[in-house]
Amino acid sequence: MAGEFDLIRRYFNYPTSHTELGVGDDGALCVPRPGMQLVVSTDMLVAGTHFLPEADPGLLGWKAAAVNVSDMAAMGAEPRWITLAISLPAVDESWVAAFARGFRDCCEAYGVDWIGGDTTRGPLNLAPTVFGEVPAGRAIRRDGARHGDDVWISGWPGMAALGLAQVLGELQLVGAWGESCLERLHRPMPRVALGCALRGTASAMLDVSDGLLGDLAHILERSAVGAVLDEPALPLECLLAACRRTERATAALLSGGDDYELLFTAPRERRGQVEAIGRHCELPLHRIGRILDKPGLWLQRGDGVCEALPGRGYEHFRN
């Protein structure tokens, strides 16, 4: 059986492209480019909370890296380096090899150097830390939304939630859109190109990990504003095609997480710029509401009636 250092040497030691010193010493040596600010984020994945213990290790490796890379996209930053601390209940070399391949595949897809980490024995737990760069003063934060801004969402949020419902046996999805829901659950695609393109256009932004309503509430709280969502503008088409149930599709869109789409606000006068960015990134961008100057979150139905919405997503110590 391989020991800790054998595991690191065999599965966690890869060449780097823009790092002075990677795996093999007490620390890595990284040099940010001139004029850049360093952006740092950690997203932990715990067996039984964020993924099923029997999850495919290759897909899990991709996802562990992707959810962290997505945090860079959410700030308009370019991901550059990543570390991984991992605890394993036992050494299964075939599992470790598949996991490491998936993690590395995601890093290579987004130009990220894997520069180190730690391994230990314990419950299955994955704790990457990602480091990125953004031009000084250009990061897109959560606190910039202003009265009159449009609210936008990228892609098709809710797909991962439907995929999880099928995995748990709660729902049977249909057709190609159903297959896409499973793909989005297991292999999320961080919107790095979109996040970087929105610098100077978006006023506030984050990635949707705990549900659209709950994550929008973070922007509203940090920006001290409210919002109203336009029900007819909500992107439900693919969700309805996958599950054929309006209530379930709407719940997945508004409350489902794990999509890692970008939710952002932008001034009304920049609609043309946002639409052009969407075309350039070959990604649908949906204008789903607007920012208000009073606190609260509402849904405006097609008949003009407004109803209050809960502004709370998934919380680990409450749900």
Residues 265 and 164 in one domain: yes
Beta bridge partners of 125: 46, 87
Q: Which of 104, 130, 113, 140 is nearest to 42 (CA)?
A: 130
Residue 88 maps to a domain: yes
- Report the distance separating Cα 180 and Cα 168, nearest Å: 16
Residues 156 and 271 in one domain: yes
For position 5, what pLDDT does the model report?
58
* Residue scoring higher pLDDT (315 or 229): 229
Give the pLDDT band (50/70/90) at residue 30: confident
Residues 224 and 104 in one domain: no
Chain mean pLDDT for the chain: 91
Give the CATH number of the domain where residue 72 resides: 3.30.1330.10
Of the listed ranges 15-19, 70-74, 89-93, the one predicted with least confidence:
15-19
pLDDT in tens, 99-125: 999 999 999 999 999 998 888 899 999
Torsion angle of alpha carbons 257, 261, 265, 266, nearest 10°? -170
For position 317, what pLDDT does the model report?
35
41 in a labelled binding site: yes
25 in a labelled binding site: no
Give the CATH number of the domain where residue 295 resides: 3.90.650.10
259 in a labelled binding site: no
Domain that holds residue 103: 4-15+35-135
117 in a labelled binding site: yes
Residues 214 and 90 in one domain: no
Structural domains in the chain (count): 2
Please determine, for residue 319, whether its predicted confidence score (pLDDT) is greater than 50. no
- Report the distance separating Cα 269 and Cα 276, nearest Å: 13
81's enclosing H/E stretch is: strand 78-88
Residue 27 maps to a domain: no
Residues 79 and 158 in one domain: no
Domain boundary, last residue among 78, 110, 135: 135
Residues 93 and 185 in one domain: no
71 in a labelled binding site: yes
Residue 99 maps to a domain: yes
pLDDT in tens, 284-298: 999 999 999 999 999
For position 119, what pLDDT does the model report?
86
Rama region for 45: left / alpha / beta (φ>0; ψ in -120 to 50; rest): beta
DSSP code per residue over 61-75: HHHHHHHHHHHHHHT
258 in a labelled binding site: yes
Residues 118 and 156 in one domain: no
207 in a labelled binding site: yes
Among the residues of 76-117, which ranges form H helices?
Answer: 93-109
209 in a labelled binding site: yes
Residues 188 and 284 in one domain: yes
* Residue scoring higher pLDDT (182 or 175): 182
129 in a labelled binding site: no
314 in a labelled binding site: yes
271 in a labelled binding site: no
